[in-house]
Each structure stands twice: as C-alpha cells, then as structure tokens.
Structure 1
Amino acid sequence: MNDSVKNAVRTKYAHLARQALSGSTCSCCSSPDFSCSAYTAAETAGLPAGLAQSSLGCGNPTALAGLRPGEVVLDLGSGAGLDVLLAAQRVGPEGKVYGLDMTDEMLELARRNQRASGISNVEFMKGEMENIPLPDNHIDVIMSNCVINLAADKAVVLKEAYRVLKPGGRLAISDMVWRREVPHWLREQVELWAGCVAGALTEAEYRRLLEEAGFTDVKLEVTHVFSEADLPVGHLSEETTEQLAPYAGSLVSAFVQARARGQV
C-alpha cells in the first residue's frame, strides 16, 4: 500500500505541476474556488500571477502559524511554493524557509515561482516527509498544507517532523480530517487517497499520533466542512460516488497545531 500510494501521489502531482508549468491552473485537495479563497489579494500581491490559483491546499497555514521575523521554517510538501514564499516574507531576510517536495515537476515549478518573486531566503529541496534531509533540532516552525493526509505512514512523518524541530518548536498545518470513522473500502482506494480523502485521519487518530511522536499542546480547529457538492474527489465511477455520498459533511479541512516539548 505504501508504494502504491506514493506512486499515485507522485504521478498525480507531477501531472498537476506540468499543467501549471504550461500555464493552466490546477487544484487537487479542494475545489478551486475554496482553495483560492483561503488567500487574500493583499497576501499574494507581488507574487507570480496564477500562483494562488495553482494552490493545492485546503487552508492557509501561513496566516495562522504566527510566524515571527528570524524564524526558520519548513514546509512539508511545498508544491508550487505559495506557502513557502508567503512564509519567507513573514520571517524576513534574517529568517529562512525550506520547501520539501518529492516531485521533480513541482520543484521545477516552485523554483520558477521563486525566481519570478525575487525572494531569496528560500531553499527548495527534493526529499520525502518520511526522511527529511535536515539535521535534528534545526527548525522553529513546520508548516504543511493538505499533504500529511497523503502519506501512507503518518506516524513516521510526524516523528520525523518532531526530530527536526527545535525544543519548543511549533507544528502548524492545514489538513483534511474525518469527523467519523470511515470504512476499509474507502481507505483502500488509491484514487481517493491521492485525492486527499482516503488518507485523512480522524481527529482522534491525529491527536494520538502527534502525542506518540512527542508533541504536546495539540489543538485542532475546523476551517471548512465539505459538502457532497465540493468533495475533492475528481472524476469517480458512479458506484464509488454513490458509496461516498453518505460521508459528505464528515470530511473537513482543519488547522492542526502542536508543540515540541522543551524550551526554544
């Protein structure tokens, strides 16, 4: 399942990146209208045209993370680079923001957007969330936008996040969350996993995995409830669509916060 999920996610996001590189807009983890509305015009002013419209997120973690000048930030699954560039403006030239992504096409797109923005306190890295290419105790804040749900082994991802955070460092992520248990058939559909649905944790699972990784002060705030009309599922068979319909209203996007133990 792990390899199947990873390959499906990589294939889908490479396709979306190629769309954006060719000038098309794209959205995966939410409807385009919802994804774009998470960012204000004032926030995205001065960034490359179309960057906000290519957002694949389900929220705006940079607006909620309380970033401060001079902080070192890591964005897990940085995609086209929108949240990285916004965070870089917030931490200022004395701070730094890393963007981590496993897809070559997304890294190409992000670096193109960085060059167009003129923002220099940014570094995009190729790698996987399960094996972050950074040393222990290096990061003040970890962000992510609708990406943790895509990982097959979320326990490993959250333990890696904890490893690279400084003592007292913060986790501030937007992600998809189920408000009820979902059946195994849904969990096992790779197409729904790549669409940010099947891999979403329940709130209880999220809290448990964060605490097992070492995090404390776990908080979860619902930011959007998905109706049947705006479930981010793309094109599905009629049978799958009918099976999924009873779970509309149970899938939400949420802002998840936690803190590494200790003092900065």
Structure 2
Amino acid sequence: MQTENELKELVRQKYSEIALQDKATNQSSCCGAGGCSTEVYNIMSDDYTTLEGYNPDADLGLGCGLPTEFAKIKEGDTVIDLGSGAGNDCFIARRQTGEKGKVIGIDFTTAMIDKARANAEKIGFHNVEFRQGDIEKMPVTSGIADVVVSNCVLNLVPNKEAVIKEIFRVLKPGGHFSISDIVLEGGLPAKWKEVAELYSGCVSGAIQKQVYLDLIKTAGFTNITLQKAKPIVIPDDILSNHFSAEEISEYKTGGARLTSVTVYAEKPVTEKAACCEPGCCN
C-alpha cells in the first residue's frame, strides 16, 4: 500500500506529463502497449465547448463533470477552483464573475500552473490568478471565497476530509461549492488500489458515495444537493492492460458502480456555537 506522499507524487508526475500535451494528444494516446480506445483520464470528460468563456488551449479533457455550469456564480464573486489544471474552469468562471470578480486557481503541479498562467496572459484576464499549492492546505486566507468549484480532483487526494474542511474554511459565511467528482457504490477488487494508472486516472481513489456525502455534512455544510450524476464505464481495452479476463468478469459481476457526481452545498451564514455547558446542544 502506497503512502499519502507516494500517491501525491504519483499524481504530480502523471499530470506533469499530461500538462505538456494538448487535448487531442491526450485523447489519442494509448493506455499501454498495443491499440486501445482512450486513456482513463479522458473517458469521463464532459463537453465544455458550448459554455461561455471556454478556451480550447485550457481544455485537456481531464474533468468528469461541468461544475461551473451548476455553481451559481454571480458577477463580482470571488471563485476558487481546486486542481485548476490548465485553467479551463477558471476561465469559464471568469466569464461569469466579470471584471469585478476574482478567480483563484490552485494546483500543485508546476507544469499545470505554468500552462494556466500562459493561457491567462494570452486571453488578457488579469483578475484570474493561479497559485501552486496543496488543496489539503490551501494557500489562501479564510473566508475569502463566495464559490468553490472543482472538477474530478478530490478523488486524487488521499485525505479527502482535510480538503472538505479546507473548503469550509476558505468560503465566506453563506458561500457555497459545486464539485464534480467520482464516487463508488459497492466494493472494488483490492488489486485496483495497486494500479497506478487507475489511481491517477481518478478511479481507484474514489470513496463510497455515502461516505463522501457524510464528510461534507460533518464538515458543517448544509443544503447538500446532488446536481448531476452519470455512470462511469471503463472500457475492456483499458481494464485488460491490468487485469485478467477472470478479474474483469469478477469486477463486472461484483456490483461495484462508479459514478460521476456533481454535488452542491452551502456554508451556513452563522456557524453553530460550541457547547459550553450540559444541555446546550439539545
């Protein structure tokens, strides 16, 4: 079993490689020796091209939803994008916040930060900022954001509870998030955890759907809403690079289900006071 730091380094290395490729290269590349459909990084992505603010240079085809479509971003808002990559969601959010707003993208991969900054410079967006950092400990002050978005990133983070607590910290009272992610129902075979590609491709790092929702509730969020859900089907040509026919059959008949979900939740305007005497929380 890999440690949290080893998993982070695995993700950093893989996404550094992806940052140096364009979307077409990513989608045409193979996931192993011999012909195959697409890499696991691309089989979950949704179509961004119809959204205002879309920039093809920033679209690497790495998401599993369209959180900015559901995020209720208003003009003048401050928005934080977790795992901002080449800047795709940030630029769409900037279209919604306008010149009076601010968008902060956070990514811990140097190559992604460099690419996103170059894209922002080309577009001429001067209120879009990219900061390198770990989303388990965000490089932003508390209570700064009206909205937090993220697209298929939390499943890559070993300590998801820490990230959700950080989202709560950086949001203003009354702020909210809309996050697309991969969740699991049922159990994956143990071997999945050993396959690096399936972890860095957002699959084997997924946790149980109910556990995911419970972490959000426990952090203090309210009005938790499932905005969108779609099943994730991994093609046999990807699975066969890592598993035998018997293992693939076991997975398909085992009842495990991977789903892309977009979840919305709000930080209360006033936080509950801590109990200071017996009976005060009743």
TM-score normalised by L of structure 1: 0.87
CA spacing shift, 1:106–1:262, aligned 2, 3 Å: same
Q: How many residues align?
A: 256
Write 1 or 2 for the structure with the bigger share of helix. 1
Equivalent residue runs for 1:97-136 within 5 Å: 97-136=103-142
Q: Which residue of 1 aligns with 2:155?
A: 149
Q: Which residue of 2 aligns with 1:236?
A: 241
In structure 1, C-alpha distance between the alignment counterparts of 2:42 and 2:255, rounded to whole Å: 14
SS at match of 1:193: helix
CA spacing shift, 1:230–1:41, aligned 2, 3 Å: farther
Q: Which residue of 1 aligns with 2:72?
A: 66
Kindly indicate whether residue 269 of structure 2 is the aligned counterpart of residue 259 of structure 1: no
> Structure 1: which amino acid aligns with 2:163?
V
Structure 2, unaligned stretches of length 5 or more?
28-38, 272-282
Greater C-alpha Rg: 2
**Offset of residue 36 of structure 1:** 4.8
In structure 2, C-alpha distance between the alignment counterparts of 1:245 and 1:40, rounded to whole Å: 33
> Structure 1: which amino acid aligns with 2:210?
A
CA spacing shift, 1:35–1:185, aligned 2, 3 Å: same
Deviates more, 1:207-216 or 1:123-132: 207-216
Deviates more, 1:176-185 or 1:151-160: 176-185
CA spacing shift, 1:12–1:166, aligned 2, 3 Å: same
In structure 2, C-alpha distance between the alignment counterparts of 1:117 and 1:40, rounded to whole Å: 16
Preserved contact between residue 67 and residue 179 of structure 2 (Cα < 8 Å)? yes
Kindly indicate whether residue 43 of structure 2 is the aligned counterpart of residue 41 of structure 1: no
**Offset of residue 117 of structure 1:** 1.6
**Offset of residue 29 of structure 1:** 5.9
> Structure 2: which amino acid aligns with 1:99?
G
Equivalent residue runs for 1:156-235 within 5 Å: 156-229=162-235
SS at match of 1:59: coil
**Offset of residue 221 of structure 1:** 3.8
Preserved contact between residue 31 and residue 230 of structure 1 (Cα < 8 Å)? no
Q: Which residue of 2 aligns with 1:51?
A: 58
**Offset of residue 26 of structure 1:** 2.3
Aligned residues: percent identity?
Answer: 36
In structure 1, C-alpha distance between the alignment counterparts of 2:254 and 2:157, rounded to whole Å: 21
SS at match of 2:26: coil
**Offset of residue 224 of structure 1:** 1.9
In structure 2, C-alpha distance between the alignment counterparts of 1:99 and 1:129, rounded to whole Å: 10
CA spacing shift, 1:200–1:247, aligned 2, 3 Å: farther
Q: Which residue of 2 aligns with 1:26?
A: 26
Preserved contact between residue 227 and residue 248 of structure 1 (Cα < 8 Å)? no
TM-score normalised by L of structure 2: 0.82
**Offset of residue 262 of structure 1:** 1.6
Preserved contact between residue 150 and residue 193 of structure 1 (Cα < 8 Å)? yes
Query: What is the alpha-carbon root mean square deviation over aligned residues?
Result: 2.6
